[in-house]
Protein backbone atom coordinates (compact mmCIF):
# COMPACT_ATOMS: atom_id res chain seq x y z
CA UNK A 1 0.00 0.00 0.00
CA UNK A 2 3.04 2.30 0.33
CA UNK A 3 2.85 5.08 -2.26
CA UNK A 4 6.30 4.79 -3.82
CA UNK A 5 5.56 7.32 -6.56
CA UNK A 6 4.73 10.15 -4.19
CA UNK A 7 7.54 9.10 -1.88
CA UNK A 8 10.04 9.56 -4.73
CA UNK A 9 8.56 12.93 -5.68
CA UNK A 10 8.69 14.33 -2.16
CA UNK A 11 12.12 12.85 -1.48
CA UNK A 12 13.35 14.82 -4.50
CA UNK A 13 11.64 17.99 -3.27
CA UNK A 14 12.90 17.70 0.30
CA UNK A 15 16.25 19.44 -0.16
CA UNK A 16 14.60 22.72 -1.17
CA UNK A 17 11.41 22.38 0.88
CA UNK A 18 12.64 24.30 3.93
CA UNK A 19 13.60 27.26 1.75
CA UNK A 20 10.00 27.69 0.62
CA UNK A 21 7.93 30.25 2.55
CA UNK A 22 5.97 28.53 5.29
CA UNK A 23 3.27 29.81 7.60
CA UNK A 24 4.40 32.37 10.18
CA UNK A 25 4.68 31.08 13.73
CA UNK A 26 1.76 33.28 14.80
CA UNK A 27 -0.50 31.54 12.27
CA UNK A 28 0.57 28.11 13.53
CA UNK A 29 -0.06 29.12 17.14
CA UNK A 30 -3.51 30.44 16.23
CA UNK A 31 -4.31 27.23 14.34
CA UNK A 32 -3.38 24.98 17.25
CA UNK A 33 -4.54 27.03 20.23
CA UNK A 34 -8.04 25.54 20.36
CA UNK A 35 -6.84 21.94 20.39
CA UNK A 36 -5.48 22.02 23.96
CA UNK A 37 -2.57 19.69 23.28
CA UNK A 38 -0.85 19.74 26.68
CA UNK A 39 0.12 16.19 27.71
CA UNK A 40 -1.49 14.84 24.52
CA UNK A 41 -0.16 12.50 21.84
CA UNK A 42 -0.26 14.32 18.50
CA UNK A 43 0.11 12.70 15.08
CA UNK A 44 1.29 15.24 12.51
CA UNK A 45 0.44 13.55 9.19
CA UNK A 46 2.40 14.78 6.20
CA UNK A 47 4.71 16.64 8.56
CA UNK A 48 7.14 17.47 5.76
CA UNK A 49 10.12 19.29 7.23
CA UNK A 50 8.23 20.13 10.41
CA UNK A 51 6.55 23.51 9.94
CA UNK A 52 4.13 22.88 12.83
CA UNK A 53 6.58 21.51 15.39
CA UNK A 54 7.80 24.73 17.00
CA UNK A 55 4.29 26.03 17.50
CA UNK A 56 2.99 22.66 18.59
CA UNK A 57 5.65 22.17 21.26
CA UNK A 58 4.66 25.43 22.91
CA UNK A 59 1.54 23.62 24.08
CA UNK A 60 3.74 20.99 25.79
CA UNK A 61 2.28 17.84 24.24
CA UNK A 62 3.32 14.48 25.65
CA UNK A 63 4.51 13.39 22.21
CA UNK A 64 4.62 14.95 18.74
CA UNK A 65 4.80 12.22 16.10
CA UNK A 66 5.91 13.50 12.70
CA UNK A 67 4.59 11.11 10.05
CA UNK A 68 5.55 11.44 6.41
CA UNK A 69 5.84 9.26 3.33
CA UNK A 70 9.18 10.90 2.54
CA UNK A 71 12.20 9.72 4.51
CA UNK A 72 14.17 12.68 3.13
CA UNK A 73 11.66 15.12 4.63
CA UNK A 74 11.83 13.30 7.97
CA UNK A 75 15.63 13.43 7.89
CA UNK A 76 15.41 17.21 7.96
CA UNK A 77 13.17 17.05 11.02
CA UNK A 78 15.62 14.70 12.73
CA UNK A 79 18.51 17.04 11.96
CA UNK A 80 16.79 19.84 13.87
CA UNK A 81 14.75 18.07 16.54
CA UNK A 82 16.62 14.84 17.34
CA UNK A 83 17.62 16.19 20.75
CA UNK A 84 14.01 16.72 21.80
CA UNK A 85 12.59 13.56 23.40
CA UNK A 86 9.03 14.71 22.74
CA UNK A 87 9.48 14.67 18.95
CA UNK A 88 9.39 11.37 17.05
CA UNK A 89 9.49 10.61 13.34
CA UNK A 90 7.44 7.92 11.63
CA UNK A 91 8.14 6.92 8.03
CA UNK A 92 4.73 5.65 6.97
CA UNK A 93 1.89 5.89 4.49
CA UNK A 94 -1.19 7.60 5.93
CA UNK A 95 -3.40 4.87 4.45
CA UNK A 96 -1.77 2.18 6.61
CA UNK A 97 -0.46 3.66 9.85
CA UNK A 98 1.73 1.37 12.00
CA UNK A 99 0.02 2.55 15.19
CA UNK A 100 -2.30 0.81 17.63
CA UNK A 101 -5.99 1.72 17.83
CA UNK A 102 -6.96 4.64 20.08
CA UNK A 103 -3.39 5.80 20.70
CA UNK A 104 -3.55 9.45 19.58
CA UNK A 105 -5.36 12.43 21.06
CA UNK A 106 -5.10 14.57 17.94
CA UNK A 107 -4.37 13.98 14.26
CA UNK A 108 -3.28 17.03 12.27
CA UNK A 109 -3.23 17.03 8.47
CA UNK A 110 -1.65 20.27 7.34
CA UNK A 111 -1.23 20.72 3.58
CA UNK A 112 -1.56 17.00 2.89
CA UNK A 113 -5.20 16.13 2.14
CA UNK A 114 -4.97 16.42 -1.68
CA UNK A 115 -2.05 13.99 -1.73
CA UNK A 116 -4.04 11.14 -0.18
CA UNK A 117 -4.80 8.85 -3.11
CA UNK A 118 -7.64 7.09 -1.23
CA UNK A 119 -8.98 9.83 1.01
CA UNK A 120 -11.71 7.82 2.73
CA UNK A 121 -9.31 5.03 3.63
CA UNK A 122 -6.87 7.52 5.14
CA UNK A 123 -9.64 9.29 7.06
CA UNK A 124 -10.75 5.93 8.44
CA UNK A 125 -7.17 5.28 9.55
CA UNK A 126 -7.12 8.60 11.37
CA UNK A 127 -10.32 7.66 13.16
CA UNK A 128 -8.88 4.27 14.09
CA UNK A 129 -5.79 5.71 15.78
CA UNK A 130 -7.72 8.47 17.57
CA UNK A 131 -9.01 7.85 21.06
CA UNK A 132 -12.50 8.83 22.19
CA UNK A 133 -12.89 12.63 22.04
CA UNK A 134 -9.80 12.76 19.83
CA UNK A 135 -9.73 15.57 17.29
CA UNK A 136 -8.85 15.59 13.60
CA UNK A 137 -7.67 18.90 12.16
CA UNK A 138 -7.39 19.29 8.38
CA UNK A 139 -5.83 22.59 7.34
CA UNK A 140 -4.43 24.64 4.51
CA UNK A 141 -3.19 28.15 5.15
CA UNK A 142 -4.41 29.15 1.68
CA UNK A 143 -7.71 28.86 -0.15
CA UNK A 144 -8.82 25.73 -1.96
CA UNK A 145 -8.65 27.53 -5.30
CA UNK A 146 -5.06 28.64 -4.65
CA UNK A 147 -3.96 25.16 -3.55
CA UNK A 148 -5.49 23.61 -6.66
CA UNK A 149 -3.88 26.25 -8.87
CA UNK A 150 -0.47 25.39 -7.41
CA UNK A 151 -0.98 21.67 -7.86
CA UNK A 152 -2.29 21.98 -11.43
CA UNK A 153 0.90 23.85 -12.36
CA UNK A 154 3.23 21.22 -10.86
CA UNK A 155 5.92 19.77 -13.11
CA UNK A 156 4.96 16.34 -11.75
CA UNK A 157 1.95 14.89 -13.61
CA UNK A 158 0.89 12.92 -10.55
CA UNK A 159 0.71 16.03 -8.36
CA UNK A 160 -1.40 17.82 -10.97
CA UNK A 161 -4.15 15.37 -10.06
CA UNK A 162 -3.84 16.05 -6.31
CA UNK A 163 -6.71 18.50 -5.98
CA UNK A 164 -8.37 19.69 -2.79
CA UNK A 165 -12.11 18.90 -2.70
CA UNK A 166 -14.73 21.26 -1.26
CA UNK A 167 -14.80 21.16 2.54
CA UNK A 168 -18.44 20.08 2.59
CA UNK A 169 -17.53 16.97 0.56
CA UNK A 170 -14.84 15.99 3.08
CA UNK A 171 -17.13 16.84 6.00
CA UNK A 172 -19.78 14.49 4.58
CA UNK A 173 -17.18 11.72 4.31
CA UNK A 174 -16.14 12.31 7.91
CA UNK A 175 -19.75 12.15 9.09
CA UNK A 176 -20.16 8.86 7.25
CA UNK A 177 -17.12 7.53 9.12
CA UNK A 178 -18.62 8.50 12.47
CA UNK A 179 -16.92 11.82 13.12
CA UNK A 180 -18.66 14.89 14.52
CA UNK A 181 -17.91 18.09 12.60
CA UNK A 182 -16.94 20.95 14.91
CA UNK A 183 -15.86 23.51 12.32
CA UNK A 184 -15.65 23.80 8.55
CA UNK A 185 -14.13 26.73 6.64
CA UNK A 186 -13.71 26.87 2.86
CA UNK A 187 -13.12 30.54 2.11
CA UNK A 188 -10.96 32.79 -0.04
CA UNK A 189 -8.44 32.95 2.81
CA UNK A 190 -8.15 29.39 4.10
CA UNK A 191 -9.41 25.82 4.27
CA UNK A 192 -10.04 24.11 7.59
CA UNK A 193 -12.05 21.20 8.97
CA UNK A 194 -12.09 20.30 12.65
CA UNK A 195 -13.74 17.01 13.58
CA UNK A 196 -14.10 14.91 16.72
CA UNK A 197 -14.31 11.17 17.30
CA UNK A 198 -17.25 10.89 19.71
CA UNK A 199 -16.85 7.20 20.54
Give the C-alpha separation, 174 to 181, whole Å. Answer: 8
Give the C-alpha separation, 126 to 137, whole Å. Answer: 10
Going residue by residue through the chain, which has 199 residues, state the pLDDT in tens, using 9 for 90 and above: 678 877 777 777 777 766 666 788 999 999 999 899 999 999 999 999 999 999 999 999 999 999 999 999 999 999 999 989 999 999 999 999 999 999 999 999 999 999 999 999 999 999 999 999 999 999 999 999 999 898 888 888 877 888 999 999 999 999 999 999 999 999 999 999 999 999 7
H runs (alpha helix) in the chain: 4-17, 25-32, 53-57, 71-81, 119-129, 144-152, 157-160, 167-176
On whether the CB atoms of residues 164 and 191 are closer than 8 A, the answer is yes
* Residue 109 CA from chain centroid, whole number: 2
Give the C-alpha separation, 141 to 22, whole Å. Answer: 9
Residue 31, domain extent: 4-196
- When divided into structural domains, the chain yields a total of 1
- Nearest-Å Rg of the Cα atoms of the chain is 16
CATH number at residue 46: 3.40.50.150
Of 55, 41, 175, nearest to 102 by C-alpha is 41
pTM: 0.93
First CA to last CA distance, the chain = 28
- Taking only the tens place, the pLDDT of each residue in 45-101 is 999 999 999 999 999 999 999 999 999 999 999 999 998 999 999 999 999 999 999
Amino acid sequence: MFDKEREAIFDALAADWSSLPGPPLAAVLELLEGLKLEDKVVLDVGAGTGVLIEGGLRQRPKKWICCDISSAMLAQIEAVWSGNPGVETLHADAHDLPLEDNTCDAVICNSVLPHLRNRCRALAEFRRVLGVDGQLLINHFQSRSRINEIHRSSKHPLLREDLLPPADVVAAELLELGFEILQSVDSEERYLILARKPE
